[in-house]
Amino acid sequence: MCNMTFEESSGDNSSERMESVAKALEEVLSSALPQGCITVGVYEAAKSLNADPDNVVLCLLATDDEEDVALQIHFTLIQAFCCENDINILRVSNLRRLAEILGGVKPGGEPMDLHCVLVTNPQSSLWKDPALSKVNRFCRDSRCLDQWVPVINLPDR
């Protein structure tokens, strides 16, 4: 169900709303990381989606590397899977900021593949995060406007 006002859909508050959603996304990632609820990497994400799609609450895909055909094929498959399983998807620009939020390197010291990031529910309890609710509402509202995979820019801090 779409509950957007004309002002919301016409874009009067769109830059403020985008900034608010970007901040909420940062909060989601920052709180999910210490709980072990983040999966990074295209292949790792595909494995996780295949193993337990009901546990995934959000999928983030990078907006860079648009000319990498193999990556775009993976994105298309991941997007289709997420749509089929009612998993919200966001395209994220500013991978440098995303790397800052997530720590940027794997324990071995090598850089993370941030082209695809999944946020999952913690196993211990139901996760009712207001920031996640805000991001999910943004995704739902975007679908009402036929923007199936909205783009969010993470602002530099």
Q: What is the pTM of this model?
A: 0.83
Residue 68 within any structural domain of the chain:
yes
State pLDDT tens for residues 28-85. 999 899 888 999 999 999 999 999 999 999 999 988 766 788 888 989 999 999 999 9
Residue 97 within any structural domain of the chain:
yes
Residue 122 within any structural domain of the chain:
yes
Residue 95 within any structural domain of the chain:
yes
The Cα 157–Cα 69 span in angstroms is 31
H or E segment and range at residue 32: helix 14-32
The Cα 104–Cα 123 span in angstroms is 24
Domain count of the chain? 1
Residue 113: give its domain's CATH number: 3.30.1330.30
Residue 83 within any structural domain of the chain:
yes
Residue 55 within any structural domain of the chain:
yes
Domain that holds residue 84: 19-153
Map 28-56 to HEC letters: HHHHHCCCCCEEECHHHHHHHHHHCHHHE
Q: What single letter denotes the amino acid at residue 117?
A: V
Residue 1 within any structural domain of the chain:
no
State pLDDT tens for residues 87-123. 999 999 888 899 999 987 565 666 778 899 999 987 6
Q: What single letter denotes the amino acid at residue 67?
A: E
- CA-based radius of gyration for the chain: 15
